[in-house]
């Protein structure tokens, strides 16, 4: 287990690192709510979390608060909105922020921090805590946390739902200030409370709950609960790609495309790409992970079947999606191209991980994907060249805008670690230096770690010589200490070909 680095940084905002408690409703007690009944709809009222008011009404607060709220709406939301999260960021969170002080204060805190982040171009140092603008953002954040805790002292469905929305804003705040452990705590608290709310027996909308009591992830969101679940599911994937061992369990029913992507809109393609990503991580971050070193015949038939069906589905989707990009590339903006490329590479990376999760002991199994690695790196090289993106050093000026969307950083790091082609992995590391900050992933920092992993594996070899199995690293874990500019790395290396005996390598890599 890697050391948690979030504790001392959480205390600067006046909170502990164990999140906040969602009070359970008292049996038999009616929930208090300040919202009025929503207008009649064709689907159950229970699918609404909040009154569907217009977001065009005046913003409460003083001049500065109104300015930050509007700045959040027009400057911050576009950078936080992922492939299919527009429903939450552009509608739900703004609507609730206008109605509820707790969420509005969380918005203003996050908007203030984002403005500060942009003004310093993403630069970071331990001395940042002395900066007045940064301290002001932390003060607003601490105030929003205290106000939320006060509301949670009064058990009600409304207050629990406000905390669910606020937890997303708080998670983004922590990611933006590079406190990733605290971010995971926030979204896990909110996600699990959302699951609880969806499973409350008094709920009128039983369709939201799967028969196994897992939350159902719908392919196309139908209501605000679906929108919230989609945001949480995407953030859970981000945590799983970086350090989280298991995904929060969801019920997914992703099927082969009934309509080929060439006949879809860009928005529809984004939804389906997200669906694929959520679905594949439900597999590769589940019990199937234990079977990598097992003989296939010893693996339960259920897992072999589920894995093969998923691979068939994803391969079919990816082939069809390439046709979509070929026929629609002339209509896409630079922003769309970068966003969609990141999503495509994320899925390709996840599918490779899926293909090696059963009966694939040696690391040399990744040599079978060299053509895929070449395609991934080439596409990123083409994009960064077309957009003129330059290299950057860790924690220096960000040359690409911050985004909460998973993009090219994780796939490039994956290639740099798992591709043992000497030239190709160096090209991947070079592109990491141009990749910027995507949520918890930072390209320039991961370039440093990938370089060290490469050095360890290639030690004693001549350039171009095949990396022997005995020098290849298997499972790689990492954690970043930003204040001390250190990466804590832990990796396993097989001692024999039985895949039962491993040695653990631990290092501190500076950047």
Joined tokens for residue 383: 């994009």
C-alpha span between 295 and 271 (Å, rounded): 36
Compare 10 and 506 and report the one with higher pLDDT: 506
pLDDT in tens, 470-479: 999 999 999 9
Q: What is the 3-state secondary structure (H, E, C) of 149-162?
A: HHHHCCCCHHHHHH
What pLDDT is recorded for position 270?
A: 81
Domain boundaries, given as residue ranges, for the chain: 59-200+215-232, 253-361, 384-510
Radius of gyration of the chain (CA): 23
Tally DSSP H helices, then E strands, for the chain: 17, 7
**Rounded CA separation 280/307 (Å):** 9
Question: pTM for this one?
Answer: 0.86
pLDDT score for 37: 32
- What does the pLDDT look like over 292-321, one tens digit per residue? 999 999 999 999 999 998 898 888 877 777
Split at pLDDT 50, 70, 90, the class of 20 is low
* Strand, coil or helix: 509: strand
What number is the average pLDDT over the span 283-294? 92
Helix (H) or strand (E) holding 438: strand 437-438
3-class secondary-structure state, position 482: coil
pLDDT tens string 267-283 = 778 888 888 889 899 99
Give me the count of residues in the chain. Answer: 511
> What's the burial of 326, exposed, middle or buried (CB within 10 Å: 0-12/13-18/19+)?
exposed
Question: Cα(180)–Cα(479) distance, rounded to whole angstroms?
Answer: 9
Q: Return d(Cα 327, Cα 322) in angstroms, integer.
A: 9
Average pLDDT estimate for 136-143: 94
pLDDT at 256: 54
416 or 275: which carries more pLDDT confidence? 416
Residues sharing a CB contact under 8 Å with residue 449, sequence separation 6 or more, in sequence order: 413, 478, 487, 489, 509, 511
3-state secondary structure of 437: strand
The predicted pLDDT at position 371 comes to 97
């Amino acid at each position: 287990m890697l050391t948690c680095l979030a504790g001392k940084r959480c205390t600067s905002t006046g909170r502990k690192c164990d999140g906040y408690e969602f009070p359970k409703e008292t049996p038999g007690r009616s929930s208090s709510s300040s919202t009025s009944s929503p207008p009649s709809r064709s689907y159950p009222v229970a699918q609404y979390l909040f009154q569907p008011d217009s977001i065009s009404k005046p913003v409460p607060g003083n001049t500065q608060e109104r300015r930050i709220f509007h700045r959040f709406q027009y400057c911050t939301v576009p950078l936080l909105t992922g492939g299919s999260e527009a429903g939450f960021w552009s509608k739900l969170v703004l609507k609730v922020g206008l109605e509820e002080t707790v969420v509005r204060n969380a918005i203003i805190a996050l908007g203030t921090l984002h403005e500060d982040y942009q003004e310093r171009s993403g630069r970071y140092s331990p001395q940042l805590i002395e900066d007045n603008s940064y301290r002001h953002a932390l003060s607003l954040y601490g105030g929003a946390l205290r106000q939320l805790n006060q509301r949670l002292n009064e058990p009600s469905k409304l207050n629990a739902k406000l905390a669910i929305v606020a937890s997303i804003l708080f998670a983004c705040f922590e990611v933006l200030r590079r406190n990733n452990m605290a971010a995971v705590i926030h979204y896990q608290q909110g996600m699990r409370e959302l699951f609880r709310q969806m499973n409350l027996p008094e709920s009128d909308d039983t369709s939201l709950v799967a028969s196994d009591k897992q939350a159902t992830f719908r392919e196309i969101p139908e209501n605000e609960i679906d929108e919230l679940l989609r945001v949480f599911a995407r953030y859970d994937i981000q945590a799983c790609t970086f350090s989280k061992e298991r995904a929060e369990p969801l019920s997914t029913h992703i099927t082969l495309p009934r309509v080929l992507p060439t006949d879809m809109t860009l928005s529809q393609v984004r939804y389906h790409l997200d669906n694929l990503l959520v679905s594949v991580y439900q597999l590769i971050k589940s019990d199937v992970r234990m079977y990598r070193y097992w003989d296939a015949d010893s693996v339960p038939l259920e897992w072999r079947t589920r894995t093969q069906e998923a691979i068939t589905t994803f391969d079919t989707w990816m082939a069809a999606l390439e046709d979509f990009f070929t026929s629609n590339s002339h209509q896409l903006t630079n922003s769309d191209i970068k966003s969609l490329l990141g999503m495509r590479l994320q899925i390709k990376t996840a599918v490779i991980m899926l293909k090696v999760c059963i009966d694939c002991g040696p690391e040399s199994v990744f040599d079978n994907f060299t053509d895929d690695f070449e395609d991934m790196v080439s596409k990123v090289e083409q994009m960064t060249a077309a957009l003129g993106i330059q290299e950057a050093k860790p924690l220096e000026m960000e040359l690409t805008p911050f985004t909460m969307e998973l993009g090219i950083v994780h796939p490039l790091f994956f290639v740099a670690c798992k591709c043992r082609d000497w030239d190709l992995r160096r090209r991947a590391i070079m592109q990491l230096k141009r990749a910027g900050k995507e949520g918890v992933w930072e390209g320039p920092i991961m370039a440093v770690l990938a370089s060290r992993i490469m050095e360890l594996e290639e030690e004693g070899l001549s350039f171009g010589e095949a990396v022997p199995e005995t020098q290849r690293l298997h499972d790689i874990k990492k954690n970043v200490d930003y204040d001390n500019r250190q990466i804590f790395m832990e990796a396993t290396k097989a001692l024999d070909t039985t895949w039962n005996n491993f040695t653990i390598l631990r290092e501190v890599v500076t950047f």
